[in-house]
Homo-oligomer: A and B are copies of this chain.
């Protein structure tokens, strides 16, 4: 919880409904995850065995790739993917967005462990477009695209741009890697299958605890020789655990439960963004969401928005967010990710809460 505000967090924790997520991340989730699993099923052992092999095959098929490997984290999976491509091409340089997870959330693991240099494409406010890739002056082994671009509210390039970037990279011998932390969540907007989108990329990472709502874990998919090499690097990183089955079994269960609900989450995000955009001094980014997520920006200092939210939480019983991030001294934002919880909120109460937010914001501006 970054930039935590105690009153806001407490008020949020006391609400009856919450707009984001699938539910609490507590021990009950673990109990539920293994409740109906067969007690006699053996654990995976260092990357082998039924639970991991079957799930990897299932995910490879879903993503339309020859092979898939389960990783404890996306951080590990993606550094390894980029390392493999750099070694293959013989260039220790990759290109990605300035707000890529690798650039801002991984303590520079890619540079510190793999000595890979980075070229930052596009600017912080928008997604990478075809022009950015065409105008790239430096030779890189790989371009990484994050779909949707999380740190700017989950924006997406057009599908035509994606296809053109893919064709260009293929023609130039540049590998294209998909940071698909939220791949499932963008399928309804693009109206494509996962397999169609992954077909544009040489390697693909997907997360299993965001839209899918597992405990933790990730999948890295690609050709057989790519995934075989990734297993060696998984061992080197310390990610080839004796047992990953708590993550695998829960990912498998929640994948089956939620992968078909991405359309519902997407529709919910559009509906809720519209309600936020009716509020004073508030706007969403994107203005119309293209996935289950968006950012809510407020034209006021973080502390004032926190007190507005605290008040709305207390009065409405509906939790909007447990935290707010500062954009500048006079602006701030929070992130919304629609999951199972959203459907459970009575629509009339939700609208009342948003009207209350509107009024609270107006009062603060008086």
Query: Footprint of B on A, CB under 8 Å?
Result: 1, 24-31, 34-35, 37-43, 45, 71-77, 79, 106-109, 112-114, 209, 215-216, 232-233, 235-247, 249
Separation in Å of the A25 CB from the closest CB of chain B?
A: 4
Chain B residues contacting A114 (CB-CB under 8 Å) are 113
Contact A79 to B238, CB < 8 A, known contacts A34-B34, A38-B27: yes
Q: Cβ of B239 and Cβ of A72 under 8 Å apart?
A: yes
Chain B residues contacting A71 (CB-CB under 8 Å) are 238
The residue that A241 contacts in the complex, of B38, B43, B73, B240, with Cβ under 8 A, is: B73
* 9 additional contacts (CB under 8 A) given A27-B245, A107-B233, A237-B238: A25-B43, A25-B242, A26-B42, A27-B34, A30-B34, A76-B237, A108-B236, A215-B243, A216-B243
CA distance A142 to B362 in the complex (A): 63
Q: Cβ of B45 and Cβ of A27 under 8 Å apart?
A: no
Chain B residues contacting A247 (CB-CB under 8 Å) are 246
Separation in Å of the A253 CB from the closest CB of chain B?
A: 12
Separation in Å of the A82 CB from the closest CB of chain B?
A: 12
Contact A109 to B42, CB < 8 A, known contacts A34-B27, A72-B72: no
The residue that A113 contacts in the complex, of B37, B73, B113, B249, with Cβ under 8 A, is: B113
Q: Cβ of B239 and Cβ of A76 under 8 Å apart?
A: yes
Separation in Å of the A140 CB from the closest CB of chain B?
A: 21
The residue that A25 contacts in the complex, of B106, B107, B240, B243, with Cβ under 8 A, is: B243
Q: Cβ of B76 and Cβ of A106 under 8 Å apart?
A: no
Separation in Å of the A317 CB from the closest CB of chain B?
A: 19
Separation in Å of the A153 CB from the closest CB of chain B?
A: 21
CA distance A249 to B27 in the complex (A): 9
Q: Cβ of A239 and Cβ of B238 under 8 Å apart?
A: yes
Q: Cβ of B39 and Cβ of A25 under 8 Å apart?
A: no
CA distance A29 to B30 in the complex (A): 13
Contact A241 to B72, CB < 8 A, known contacts A106-B236, A236-B106, A236-B107: yes
CA distance A34 to B113 in the complex (A): 36
CA distance A107 to B234 in the complex (A): 9
Chain B residues contacting A75 (CB-CB under 8 Å) are 235, 237-238, 240
CA distance A29 to B45 in the complex (A): 14
Chain B residues contacting A34 (CB-CB under 8 Å) are 27, 30-31, 34
The residue that A107 contacts in the complex, of B30, B79, B108, B235, with Cβ under 8 A, is: B235
Q: Cβ of B112 and Cβ of A236 under 8 Å apart?
A: yes
